[in-house]
Amino acid sequence: MNDSSWGAPPQAGYWGPTDQGHGHGHAQSPGPGHAQGPGRGRVHSPGHGHAQGAAPAGPAYDAHEAPQTRPMPIVPDVAAYGGDQDDDRGTARLSGSPVRNETNPEPMPDAAEPAPKPQKKSAGRDLSAAIGVGVGLGAVIVASLFVVKAVFVGVIAVAVVVGLWELTKRLDERKGIRAPLVPLALGGAAMVVAGYVRGAEGAWVAMALTALAVLVWRMTEPPENYLRDVTAGVFAVFYVPFLATFVAMMLTADDGPQRVLTFLLLTVVSDTGAYAVGWRFGRHKLAPRISPGKTREGLLGAIAFAMVAGALCLEFLIDGGAWWQGLLLGLAVAVSATLGDLGESMIKRDLGIKDMGTLLPGHGGIMDRLDSLLPTAPVVWLLFVLFVGSG
């Protein structure tokens, strides 16, 4: 019990209403002859008489009245769950009385979870499938290259037609651009054969005729978007069959198979060096807005690998070649192959696709393998002509 059960002294200046009807001048309380203060005791009147039954000192009560003090609440001494909370309904102890906690109790912090283990770098593709397909394509190319040259020309023509089909299909699907495939495919195959038979002159003539065929073919359809469609068609003529024609022109030399093999080896080695060094040591992005996966370290790896391979190829495969020429050739191949890869990445980003096709498991489509080969072909052809001649 606290002090609130004891009588408190009456407030100053207040003794209850005065009974003016009695001659003795007793000051009586509103009750039956009692003057009660807040503490329930009777006190003397200020008049001549006295207040009846003066209250003794201490906490006295009227015999007929029960104490009117507020009962103390019963609060458990120990909370059910520790701290200031006594149950899970939000009631908390505050100044000895139970009050409702209007806010939700703060949850206990979870135990610290162990940090996730760092994940190993992933190549992002099925490497086993990619290696298998690459080896198979290499075997077909090498076999056709050294058995009969004309067979390899046919391989180039097939790759061109399939590449044109993939490109025009993606343009139609993603942008609604309808470049006519029939004149592109026929003219592209003719360009490869003309380059092999008639050289650069035949390639230029076949390209001009193919572009004209694209313009005429598109006239058979409504004129809406004519300019857009034929522009895409002429771009496709230059990008796929015209650049591929330089591989056929390399093949016309006496050591043509060795030149084509050097071109293919240097391009593949450049891509491999860029991948290996970039995957292991890549930190600084080369062109993050175009191809986020390519790094400057990868480019340096491509240059180093291609220069070493170029020196070896020019020294041992090409008649009249020198190792220092191979260094220059390797440098040029690494740069042109990287630019070609970035160029196709730009096209795919504009189209909103990851791969140009799905024909080659682990690689994507034919165009995903031609991206670095196509722009490298005229560079290698030109440097071979400058270093060892066109024969």
Rounded Cα–Cα distance for residues 361 and 190 (Å): 29
Structure tokens at 379: 């560079």
Neighbouring residues of 62: CB distance < 8 A, sequence distance ≥ 6: 34, 40
Rounded Cα–Cα distance for residues 251 and 384 (Å): 12
pLDDT tens, per residue, the chain with 391 residues:
444 444 444 444 444 444 444 434 443 434 443 434 443 444 343 444 443 444 444 444 444 444 455 555 555 544 444 444 444 444 444 444 444 444 555 555 555 555 555 555 555 556 677 677 778 888 888 888 988 899 999 999 999 999 999 999 999 999 999 999 999 999 999 999 999 999 999 999 999 999 999 999 999 999 999 999 999 999 999 999 999 999 999 999 999 999 999 999 999 999 999 999 999 999 999 999 999 989 999 999 999 999 999 999 999 999 899 999 999 999 999 999 999 999 999 999 999 999 998 888 777 899 999 999 999 999 999 999 999 998 7
Q: What is the largest CA-CA distance in the chain?
A: 153
Residue 319 DSSP one-character state = T
Neighbouring residues of 97: CB distance < 8 A, sequence distance ≥ 6: 73, 75
Rounded Cα–Cα distance for residues 45 and 43 (Å): 7
Rounded Cα–Cα distance for residues 152 and 258 (Å): 13
Q: Is the pTM of this model over 0.75?
A: no
The dihedral built from the CA positions of residue 18, 22, 28 and 31, taken in this order, carries a sign that is: negative
- DSSP per residue, 136-174: HHHHHHHHHHHH-HHHHHHHHHHHHHHHHHHHHHHHHHH
Single-letter residue type at 254: D
Rounded Cα–Cα distance for residues 294 and 282 (Å): 8
Strand partners, 94: 97
